[in-house]
Chain A
Amino acid sequence: MTAPLAQAQIEALLDLYLETEFTFRPVGPVAAALALLERAEQDFVLDWIKRIATTHITLAFDFAKRAPDLIERFDQRVIEAWAVHLCDTYDRVGMYAALEVAGQVGNFMQQREGHAAGALFEDIAPVLGNFVHGLSGRKLKLEQGDAAWSDGERICLPAIIAALAGRSDNFKLAKAMVAFQWAQTRFGTLRPDLTAICAALADPARALRQFHGLETLRLFARLGRELPGLQREMLRLSQQLEAPVEPAWLALATPLLRPEATVEDSLALLDAACALSDFPVRCFQGELRPDAVAAARAARLEKEKARLRVKLADLAEEARRHKPGKASEDAPEERFEVATEDDEGRLDFEITLDGAPIAPPDDVKQLLTSVHLDFGQIPPEYLVPAGDGEYDPSLYEDRPTDPDAVWQGTYHEEGALFYPEWDLGRQHYRKNWCVMREKEVKPVFDDFPRQTLAKHAALIKHLRKSFEAMRDENRLLKRQTQGDEIDLDALVEALADSRDGREMSDRLFMHMHRAERNIAVVFMVDMSGSTRGWINEAERESLILLCEALERLGDRYAIYGFSGITRKRCELFRIKTFDEPYSDTVKARISGIAPQEYTRMGFAIRHLSKLLNEVEARTRILVTLSDGRPDDYFDAYRGPYGIEDTRMALQEARRSGIHPFCITIDKDARDYLPHMYGAARYVILDDVAQLPGKVADIYRRLTH
């Protein structure tokens, strides 16, 4: 084992990481505390101090002060997750909030002896997200938050759950929390206006806690009937962590254990509950936040009413079309009726229109479910089909926001997609870091495509020919050694040969050779400012040539341009999508490709990988076309950070089954390319003039 570092050595490192020369941090006490640890622990803590310092020095110093205590109490996985959470909070909401999170470390990792193996949100979210979708009712989203709570549309869980020693028990606890929050939405806890009800009582905050206690007992009994396996687990966890609920509470709550008990019954007992001692909080019950519930509900009600009524109008319209002979003007207004089936956790609806049953589409069922959860029934006014123009479409349509409108007025992130970015210093992803929007290249209908075709006429002829040769079609191959049909001509010959005493051929079969070329490819084109001039023209010419060639081949292809300025404005420009034919508009968009801003590459690779993976194809290829190293405006993206992020994005693409290929026009600074393109194959072109001829040719060799 390596000997631990001495205090002086640690201090020297901390001086370096925390730049004490300028920041004057008193690192002495920290170094003294760290000197007492084992070498492996020291290395772990120092590494994380260094990594957090690349985000912010104050944060790193704060971490350094707490680390010696933490490492005694938790396993390294949990501390790592906490450190990442700290940086994420800083990324999201800034220094003040991050230091607050750091201060709440006790909250976040409850006091306990020994090393706890916590359940980390990012590990459990994929499983529990699906788990909660499998339960009936509204589709609830799972998000990371400061505690376990729900507003009726999403369920929040803390970043780490480490109340118990074992990882699997902590996971079970997280699952119990999720199921309990789900039960609150599903079985009506969130339905009454709790703020108003509690405000009428002497101590509103305490009343809310006591109400939550009553509901905890009611829902626990309910879960026992719905999900008995889960209830057993909840009981076991609760027994490990807490004293049993007092007899007075159990006596009061007896009526709530009946199958037909509702939230109204809990409300009826609230006065009596307030007279009892404080309810002993159960480990799985989380928090009740009526304000958030009310806000989500207020935003949802009108929207869903509009959506449902518009959908019903559509259904009525469709029914009318199938019933000929009835003039729609003087027909009496359609009457919808809904029968709700709410048995044993299953929620189903049957709709009748004027007495005739109609099979409701899934989206209508989802809406009915949601409305039912809000009211406990479907209010009659929700069943009146919307009249023409009764609602502003913006109320019920998911309107696509104009990406350019973002920059008019205040900055917002509506309609944007978020992508993570790899932070070299932190050695971890920055979550939701890039704010990405897809835009369209403004088509320019000019002479450029025609001129390009004329300029490269000979080359195009050659390309078309060579691409056509690659085309694969169903062919019947005759005289094969094996196949699914007998080649009778060959057989007759062979029999004649054999009668004649000659050797009989074994090529007696016909084989249907089937076209198997099943390739989808995305071209990702650099539209950064540095392509201005020659490179831009060469890029556009290459794309025209490429499209001409690909049209011969029949491969599915899409073309996107990328550019951006800072992480808040990452833009991908649609030139041709997979579904779009190669039309004059596409040609005009290629003409319209104009240099924009900077070269942030990671988000573009990640987004296009996602698009590519949604296409059904046997082989998926991502070809990037750029003029050099990644770069962004006054941003860390210039230099190693951008290179590492690009490298990481390419590796992610590779892992998801995509073949990335990079074409670069960069005369100098080749030193970083092999590293950056690590996972991808690449080619460097010295001369821009080569580009048009090369791109199609490279693609041909790539897929042959």
Chain B
Amino acid sequence: MDTHTFTQEEHYIRQEPYYEPVGDEIAIFEAAYANKLPVLLKGPTGCGKTRFMEYMAWRLKRPLITVSCHDDLTASDLVGRYLVKGGETVWMDGPLTRAVRAGGICYLDEIVEARKDTMVVIHPLADDRRALPMEKLGVLLEATDEFCLAISYNPGYQSVLKDLKQSTRQRFVALEFDYPAPELERRIVANEARVAPAMAEQLVKFAHMTRNLKGSGLDEGASTRLLVHAGKLIAGGVDPVTACRSAVAQAVTDDPDMLSAIQELSASLF
């Protein structure tokens, strides 16, 4: 089988991604987009932020350029850099520049993970200037109306080092995401993992048990994404308790006591 290679700015999402709206986030995003306002998605990991972005990119028919930020991501990783080719230097655009040029949606995932200097380059893009200064080229790239900047951030880290600065956060329209309500979460798990509604219900119940543990030894409970993973394993014939261990318990903690406790919870449930 061939794999398809796209450049990111050509990557239009052609099929409607599965997305269940939780509230009025679609309307808010569309209004922000129409008014050229950047968007901040807040919420715990695995609750549907990235899926929402894919869905909106499909809905707005714009290419989606996602950058997963990590602690070594520099400003030039976003904007671009010189490379050497045959004794000459060649400029190479970074993903953010390409998104601006193509009028796409640039989604910076887990922005607080990136180094502090990266925040500064997005500032001019995130206010009414809507421009990207490219220092090394000495030019200012103005964004078209189609361009949209979105960032995501998980406030649950509770670490001073990984907090978003006021000067950054006050430029964005914020959308808050959380785990969906039980009824909705059941539907999502059943739909995504293709398991029976009763099994989806048990999985959601299990997720709530792990979420009860947040603060007493767990940093974060099981996300909807993990439930979908567990559900897929179960649909593939894996025993539910084993699936919960591999897809959920091991994913949320390394602490042996906590692992056993989560294991006992799932063994009690199924």
Q: With the chains together, A230 CA to B206 CA distance in Å?
A: 13
Q: In the bound complex, what is the Cα–Cα distance between A129 and B159 (angstroms)?
A: 26
B-facing mask of A134-150, CB < 8 A → 1, else 0?
11100100000000000
Chain A contacts for B213, CB-based, 8 A = 130, 133-134
Contacts of A484 in B (CB 8 A): 74, 76-77
**A131 lies within 8 A of B261 (CB):** yes
Task: Decide: B87 and A230 in contact? CB cutoff 8 A.
Answer: no
Say yes or no: A130-B216 contact (C-beta < 8 A), given A485-B76, A488-B82. yes
Partner of B159 from A131, A139, A488, A616 at Cβ < 8 Å: A616
Contact A130 B217 (CB under 8 A): yes
Say yes or no for A179: interface residue by CB 8 A criterion: yes
Tell whether, in the assembled complex, residue B182 and residue A346 are in contact, meaning their CB atoms are under 8 Å apart. Answer: yes
Chain A positions within 8 Å of B175 at CB level: none
Residues of A within 8 A of B24 (CB): none
Q: Nearest CB to that of B221 among chain A residues? A: A134
A167 to B239, CA, bound (A): 24
Cβ contacts B160-186/A at 8 Å (1 or 0 each): 010000000000000000000010000
State whether A127 touches B182 (Cβ < 8 A).
no
Q: CB-CB contacts of A109-126 with B at 8 A, as 1s and 0s?
A: 000000000000000001
Q: Report if A229-B212 is in contact (Cβ < 8 Å); known contacts: A126-B257, A491-B89.
A: no
Q: Name the B residues within 8 Å of A485 (CB-CB).
A: 76, 81
CB-defined contacts of B268 to chain A, threshold 8 Å: 175, 179, 227, 229-230, 233
The one of B83, B216, B269 that contacts A133, using a Cβ cutoff of 8 Å: B216
Q: Specify which chain A residues have a CB less than 8 angstroms from the CB of B210 in the assembled complex.
A: 134
Are A133's CB and B270's CB within 8 A? no
B59 to chain A: which residues have CB within 8 Å?
none
Interfacial chain B residues near A97, Cβ < 8 Å: none
Whether A344 is near chain B, meaning CB under 8 Å from some CB there, is yes
Say if the beta carbon of A95 comes within 8 Å of chain B: no
Residues of B within 8 A of A488 (CB): 82, 89
Residues of A within 8 A of B212 (CB): 133-136
B209 touches which of A134, A139, A486 (Cβ 8 Å): A134
Chain B residue nearest in CB terms to A495: B87
Is A175 within 8 A of B270, CB to CB?
no
Interface magnitude class on chain A: 20 to 34
Q: How far is the CB of B17 from chain A (nearest CB, A)?
A: 28
- B144 surroundings in chain A (CB, below 8 A): none
The contact string, 1 if C-beta is below 8 Å from chain B, for chain A 205-231, is 000000000000000000000011110
Measured between alpha carbons, how far is A641 from B266 in the docked complex, in Å?
45
Instruction: Tell whether B205 is near chain A: CB-to-CB under 8 Å.
Output: yes
Q: Which residues of B contact A269 (CB under 8 A)?
A: none
A485-B76, A495-B87 as given contacts; A131 in contact with B208, CB under 8 Å? no
B67 at the interface (CB under 8 A from A): no
| B84 contacts A486, C-beta separation under 8 Å | yes
* Per-residue contact bits, chain B 61-74, to A (CB 8 Å; 1 contact, 0 not): 00000000000001
Report A226-249 residues with CB < 8 Å from chain B CB. Answer: 227-230, 233
Interface pair B205/A131, CB less than 8 Å apart: no
CA A135 – CA B257 in complex, angstroms? 16
A residues 315-345 near B (Cβ < 8 Å) are 343-345
Name the residue among B89, B182, B205, B264 with the largest chain A CB count within 10 angstroms.
B264
* Residues on A with beta carbons closer than 8 Å to the beta carbon of B215: 362
Q: How far is the CA of A129 from the CA of B265 in the complex (A)?
A: 12
Contacting residues of chain A (611-660) with chain B, CB-CB under 8 angstroms: 616
B74 lies within 8 A of A135 (CB)? no
Nearest Cβ distance between residue B112 and chain A, in whole angstroms?
14
| A512 interfacial contact with B, CB 8 Å | yes
Residue of A nearest to B159 (CB): A616
Return chain A residues, CB-CB under 8 Å to B81.
485-486
State the CA gap A128–B89 with chains docked (Å). 63
In the bound complex, how far is the Cα of B193 from the Cα of A269, in angstroms? 46
- Counting chain A CB atoms within 10 Å of each CB, the highest count among B83, B205, B212, B258 belongs to B212
B219 to chain A, nearest CB (A): 13
Instruction: Determine whether the beta carbon of B264 is less than 8 Å from that of A175.
Output: yes
Which single member of B159, B217, B269 contacts A227 (CB below 8 Å)?
Answer: B269
B241 at the interface (CB under 8 A from A): yes
For the complex formed, measure the closest distance between the CB of B161 and the CB atoms of chain A, giving whole angstroms.
Answer: 7
Contact at A130–B182, with CB atoms within 8 Å? Answer: no
Q: In the complex, A130 Cα to B258 Cα: how many Å?
A: 7
| Contact between chains at B261 and A130 (CB < 8 Å) | yes
Across the two chains, which residue of chain A brings its CB closest to B259?
A127
User: Given the interface contacts A127-B261, A230-B268, A488-B82, does A135 sit within 8 Å of B216 by beta carbon?
Assistant: no
Taking the closest CB of chain A, its distance from the CB of B235, in whole angstroms, is 19
Q: List B residues 241-270 near A (Cβ within 8 Å).
A: 241, 257-258, 260-262, 264-270
Closest B residue to A125 by CB, please name it.
B257
Specify which chain A residues have a CB less than 8 angstroms from the CB of B260 in the assembled complex: 127
A488 CA to B137 CA in the complex, in Å?
A: 13
Contacts A130-B216, A228-B270, A486-B84 hold; do A135 and B209 have CB atoms under 8 A apart?
yes
**A506 CA to B35 CA, complexed, in Å:** 50
Chain A residue nearest to B260 (CB atoms) is A127
Contacting residues, chain B, for A486 (C-beta < 8 A):
81-84, 89
Q: How far is the CA of A491 from the CA of B85 in the complex (A)?
A: 12
Chain B residue numbers with a CB within 8 Å of A229 are: 241, 266-270
| CB neighbours of A344 from chain B (8 A) | 201, 205
Q: Is the CB–CB distance between A346 and B205 below 8 Å? A: yes
Q: Are A134 and B265 in contact (CB under 8 A)?
A: yes
CB distance from A233 to the nearest CB of B (A): 8
A-B contact pairs, 23 of them (CB 8 A): A126-B261, A127-B260, A127-B264, A128-B264, A130-B213, A130-B257, A130-B261, A131-B264, A134-B261, A136-B209, A175-B264, A233-B268, A343-B182, A344-B205, A345-B205, A346-B182, A362-B215, A486-B82, A486-B83, A488-B82, A488-B89, A495-B87, A616-B161
* 18 more A-B residue pairs beyond the given contacts A126-B257, A229-B269, with a C-beta to C-beta distance below 8 A: A127-B257, A127-B260, A127-B261, A128-B261, A130-B213, A130-B217, A134-B213, A134-B261, A139-B216, A343-B182, A344-B201, A344-B205, A346-B205, A346-B208, A485-B76, A486-B84, A491-B89, A616-B159
Q: Which 5 A-B pairs have the closest CB atoms?
A: A130-B261, A230-B268, A126-B257, A227-B268, A134-B209
Chain B interface residues toward A at CB < 8 A: 74, 76-77, 81-84, 87, 89, 159, 161, 182, 201, 205, 208-210, 212-213, 215-217, 241, 257-258, 260-262, 264-270
